Amino acid sequence: MYLGRVIGTVVAERKYEGLEGMKLLVVEPLDHAGKATREPEVAVDTVRAGHGDLVWLVGSREAALALEPWFVPVDAAIVGIVDDIDAAQEKPAK
């Protein structure tokens, strides 16, 4: 799992069966200090996250397991909204 910042939304009308109605957000993966770790990616939202929110995500096959139905082609899912980070080093703004 990893941290990320919601930086946009994606609208895709024609989607694979099982993905209808799912909210797609553009997320920039971050480390604990708020530094981007790789290129932004598209993730399915399961927690009603909004633009600018600091969230955590699960990747790979486990992303699909956050969804109902779970047998869907998804490789990143937002599974939590961060309230607070308690880390010894610098942390990203909420």
Partner 1 sequence: MKLCRVLGSVVGSVHHPVYDGQKLLIVVPVDGGDSFLAVDRVQAGVGDTVLVNQEGNGARQLLKMGQQVPIRSLIVGVVDEVHRDE
SS3 63: helix
Cβ proximity to partner 1: between 14 and 48 the closer is 48
CB of 43 to partner 1, least distance (A): 12
Task: Choose among 42, 50, 53: nearest CA to 76.
Answer: 42
In the bound state with partner 1, the residue whose beta carbon lies nearer, of 1 and 10, is 1
Q: Give the per-residue contact string, 55-94, with partner 1 (x = CB under 8 A; - = no).
A: xx-xxxxxx-xx---x------x-xxxxxxxxxxx-x---
Determine the Cα–Cα distance for residues 87 and 73; give it in Å rounded to an integer. Answer: 34
